[in-house]
Amino acid sequence: MPANPERTLLCGGLEISRLVCGLWQVADMEKNGQPLDPVRAADALEDYAKAGFDTFDMADHYGSAELITGRLLQRYAGANKRPVAFTKWCPEPDSMTAEVVRKGITERLERLGVSKVDLLQFHWWTFEHPAWLDALHEMAALRKEGLIASIGVTNFDAAHLALALADGIPIVSNQVSFSLIDRRAAGALSELCRLKNVTLLAYGTLCGGFLSEKWLGKPEPTEIRDWSRSKYKRFIDAAGGWQAFQCVLAAADRVARKHKVSIANVATRWVLDHEAVAACIIGARLGESEHRVDNLKVFSFALDAEDRALLADSFAGTKPVPGDCGDEYRKPPYLTASGDLSHHLSAIPSIFAGTPVPQRPGRQRVSSGSVWEPIAGYSRAVRVKNVIHVSGTTATHGANHCVAPGDAGAQTTYILDKIAAAIAALGGTMNDVVRTRIYLRDGAKWEPVSRAHGRVFGQVMPANTLIEAGNLIGDYEVEIEAEAIVD
Ligand SMILES: NC(=O)c1ccc[n+]([C@@H]2O[C@H](COP(=O)([O-])OP(=O)(O)OC[C@H]3O[C@@H](n4cnc5c(N)ncnc54)[C@H](OP(=O)(O)O)[C@@H]3O)[C@@H](O)[C@H]2O)c1
Among the ranges given (128-132, 141-145, 395-399), the one the predictor scored with the smallest mean pLDDT: 395-399
How many structural domains are present in the chain? 2
Residue 17 belongs to what H/E stretch? strand 15-17
Q: Which residues in 18-70 belong to E strands, given as ranges?
A: 19-22, 55-57
Dihedral angle computed from the Cα positions of residues 297, 301, 306 and 312, in that order, rounded to the nearest 10 degrees: 40
* C-beta of residue 73 within 8 angstroms of C-beta of residue 42: no
pLDDT value of position 360: 79
- 237/328 same-domain check: yes
The answer to the question of residue 116 being in a domain is yes
Q: Are residues 363 and 336 in the same domain?
A: no
pLDDT score, position 264: 98
Residue 2: inside a domain: no
Tell me the average pLDDT across 432-440: 98
Cβ atoms of residues 45 and 79 within 8 Å: no
pTM: 0.97
**What per-residue confidence (pLDDT) applies to 359?**
74
**Does a structural domain hold residue 178?**
yes
Q: How far apart are CA 53 and CA 40, in angstroms?
A: 17
Give pLDDT tens digits for 37-81. 999 999 999 999 999 999 999 999 999 999 999 999 999 999 999
Taking a C-beta distance cutoff of 8 angstroms, is the pair 350, 421 a contact?
yes
In a domain, 18, yes or no: yes
- What distance in Å separates the CA atoms of residue 66 and residue 266, rounded to the nearest whole number? 30
Is residue 245 located within the same domain as residue 381? no
Those residues with Cβ within 8 angstroms of residue 323's Cβ, 6 or more apart along the chain or in another chain: 157, 184, 331
Does residue 379 lie within any of the structural domains? Answer: yes
Answer yes or no: are the C-beta atoms of 381 and 426 closer than 8 Å.
yes
The stretch 158-164 carries a mean pLDDT of: 98
Residues in contact with ligand 1 (CB, 6 Å cut-off): 22-25, 57, 154-155, 175, 203-209, 212, 228, 262, 264, 281-283, 285, 289, 291, 294-295
Residue 211 domain-assigned (yes or no): yes
Residues 398 and 429 in one domain: yes
Q: Is the pLDDT of residue 355 over 80?
A: no
* Residue finishing a domain among 307, 342, 377: 342
Domain boundary residue among 282, 314, 342?
342
Cα 274 to ligand 1 centroid, rounded to whole Å: 19
My answer on whether 328 and 384 are in the same domain is: no
Q: State the distance from the centre of ligand 1 to the C-alpha of 280, rounded, in angstroms.
A: 10
Q: What is the mean pLDDT of residues 232-253?
A: 98
pLDDT at 354: 65
- The answer as to whether 347 is a domain residue is no
Residue 452 CA, ligand 1 centroid: distance in Å: 33
pLDDT above 70 for 353: no
Average pLDDT of 98-110? 98
- 1 lies in a domain? no
| Residue range 169-212, pLDDT digits in tens | 999 999 999 999 999 999 999 999 999 999 999 999 999 999 99
DSSP category for residue 18: S
How many alpha carbons fall within 13 Å on the CB side of residue 310? 18
Together in a domain, 34 and 106: yes
Domain closes at, from 289, 314, 342: 342
Atom of ligand 1 nearest to the CA of 23: 45
How confident is the prediction for the chain on average, in pLDDT? Answer: 95
Report, in this order, helix, strand and coil percent for the chain, each rounded to 5: 40, 20, 40
- Flag whether pLDDT at 35 surpasses 70: yes
User: Domain of 448?
Assistant: 352-485
365 and 338 together in one domain:
no
Q: What is the CATH number of the domain that holds 366?
A: 3.30.1330.40
Residue 288, domain CATH: 3.20.20.100
- Answer yes or no: do 296 and 392 share one domain: no
Q: Tens digits of per-residue pLDDT, 329-349?
A: 999 889 999 888 888 888 888
pLDDT at 133 over 90: yes
